[in-house]
Chains A and B, each alone.
Chain A
Amino acid sequence: MKFIDEYRRSDLAQAVIRRIHQNSTKRARFMEFCGGHTVTIMKHGIRQLLPLTIEMLSGPGCPVCVTDNADLDKAIALAKVPGAILTTFGDMLKVPGSCSSLQEAKAEGADVRMVYSTMDALQIARENAARPVIFLGIGFETTAPTIAASVLQAKQEGIGNYYVLSLHKLCPPVIRALLHSGEVKLHGLICPGHVSAIIGSRPWEFIARDYRIPCVVSGFEPLDVLQSIDMLVSQVETDDSRVEIAYRRGVRAEGNQRALELMYQVFEPCPARWRGMGAVPDSGLKLRREFEHFDAELAFDFDPGPTLEPKGCICGDLLRGIKTPRDCQLFAKVCTPASPVGPCMVSSEGSCAAYYHYGDGTSSEQGEQ
């Protein structure tokens, strides 16, 4: 496919890898914030191709993984509201909450439907006017404008049975919280490409300015990620810290103003809980007062029950970048994609799932290959 295949050319990748090896002299730890980048890095064996000077660390950029159990329990409880249809992106179905998952709720009779788009959820609402249709609003700035668009559409059409449970999260505030904690020392950040397609590159500038950490906004093909690592290396070697865009075909410095307008017309920032990090100020999105009647949390009487955390699961530590899946005693033994304990094994972009499917080059089997 155009704009994908060209960025997977191995001859060009070899040239970029060669350049990275030639230029990198200082030890540097880079974090890829986004789960999509983690998948690219693991799938294409990029870690193993890098010089020993460079360490790659996965960050908290997977909306499924960072949704905490208390919020998951709300979604599961809402699915059980009599007569309700809960619509969700497929990623969320298998994620275990405290005692159940949406998939289990569905097996027990709840009407949980997987949709590809909020447009599909709206269509279900139109076709089931007598039943409440709740959309599980998960996702970062990339996705939140599409949920905002659906709320505006519902308002315009007078669709009165469409509701949203807004668990959206904003990325820059959580990176600030992560860096502020001082738990993890970084020398470079690969910023999320499709979040940046919406918010632009400017919201990352505080990282370069306040924390002196180089930032590069990256695309998702292997050449994109290698180019971003190369650009980070150049900044590290020259003691520079700036925000650069490698993903220039998809991201402008100012972002997508139209999408931001729609998002902030419908939502306003609020505190949000992140798995492993707790409450982070202004890192969530709630419906504005004008759109409160679309808010599933206010519209229904439901009991999510007490919040329980799975024993032994270290997803929270992984998301803060202080541990890797190899440090988890449950990894690939008790916790597998078929029977996941924590969300990082469920989501296709979770670091545990990526380690499980592609390996990280440290296991004995891979060493023998």
Chain B
Amino acid sequence: MCLAIPALVKSIKGNEADAEIGGISRRVSLLLTPEAKVGDYVLLHTGYAISVIDQEEAAETLNIFEQMAELAANEEE
């Protein structure tokens, strides 16, 4: 029930945004994330953005996984 999915903010008007989720456009409330900007990804929960995705942290997390995979590959050699 606490499901939230990433949505790309395409345009903002007042407290509301048009956001894209997997190619589908949806109206999203930014009342809980007034800091969201066009081009941000937000976590969308029941029509409300509850968090702005930190894209640097996202890349860093993936980087950690890549390093683990590299290490595993080296160990196998």
Contact = CB atoms under 8 A, between A and B. Distances in A.
Contacts of A117: 29, 46-48
Interface residues of A, number: 57
Interface stretch (A9-17, A102-110, A208-216, A308-316): A9-17
Nearest to B67: A15
Given A1-B22, A223-B65, A15 B45 contact: no
A63 B54 CA distance: 27
Interface stretch (A73-81, A191-199, A271-279, A284-292): A191-199
A2 interface: yes
Contacts of A3: 6, 41, 53, 58
Given A16-B68, A139-B1, A194-B4, A256 B41 contact: no
Contacts of A35: 1-2
Given A249-B58, A250-B53, A194 B46 contact: no
Contacts of B31: 149, 258, 262
Interface in B1-36: 1-6, 8, 21-22, 29, 31-34
Contact of A12 (B5, B51, B65): B65
B67 to A, nearest CB: 9
Contacts of B65: 9, 12, 15-16, 223, 227
A357 interface: no
A149 B32 contact: yes
Contacts of B21: 1
A300 to B, nearest CB: 24
A146 interface: yes
Interface string A29-70: 000001110000000000000000000000001111000000
Interface of B: 1-6, 8, 21-22, 29, 31-34, 41, 43, 45-48, 50-51, 53-55, 57-58, 60-62, 64-66, 68-69, 71-72
10 contacts: A2-B6, A7-B62, A12-B68, A35-B2, A36-B3, A146-B48, A149-B48, A194-B43, A227-B64, A258-B34
